Amino acid sequence: MTFDETYADPSYTISDDNRSIVVLKDKKERREYIGENIDRKQIIVYLVDDGIIKSGERCDYTLCLCDPNILYFIELKGGNYTKALSQIYTTIESLVIGPRLSTSEVHARIVLSKVRVPNVRSAEETKLNKLLKRLNGNLKKTSQKMIDIL
């Protein structure tokens, strides 16, 4: 099964359309993720934190490009980069690996509010990168604002 077939409950679906720009941000915070959908593909935006997953470690959002089944796991974080890595890893394990969902690519995006984005690879970053490589994806991190071509 695919992600959109498995997680079809409208209670945690933020949007399901082909809008040209997807903007995700924390309330009362400046950090934001902007996904540019230049090909106007169908994108489903899911609330993961207190949506699909109610407790435990989890990231904030997931974007699903239904065709060709590409997933983006997004965490908007204060300054704890290591925690953000762990949250995304745990979310991918819970929502994709555990249920054995079919995907073509799985990516991770972290937007930190603090300017210092560490350049040293931690064990958590290496672990997540290995998982993403296995799932044909990659990790990107930045501070304040990320613009991604979907």
The whole-angstrom separation of Cα 42 and Cα 36 is 12
Structure confidence at residue 78 (pLDDT): 86
Paired residues of 111 in beta bridges: 76, 142
Mean pLDDT across 90-106: 96
What number of H helices and E strands is found in the chain? 3, 9
The whole-angstrom separation of Cα 85 and Cα 36 is 23
Does residue 29 carry a pLDDT above 90? no
User: One-letter amino acid identity for 55?
Assistant: S
Does residue 35 carry a pLDDT above 60? yes
Does residue 117 carry a pLDDT above 70? no
Mean pLDDT across 123-137: 96
User: One-letter amino acid identity for 116?
Assistant: R
The whole-angstrom separation of Cα 7 and Cα 147 is 26
Comparison of pLDDT for 122 and 99, the residue scoring more:
99
Q: Among 9-13, 101-105, 112-116, 122-126, whose mean pLDDT is lowest?
A: 112-116
Does residue 102 carry a pLDDT above 90? yes
Q: pTM of whole model > 0.85?
A: yes
Does residue 149 carry a pLDDT above 90? yes
> Is 78:113 a contact under the CB 8 Å cutoff?
yes
| Pairing between β-strand 145-149 and β-strand 32-36 as defined by DSSP bridges | parallel
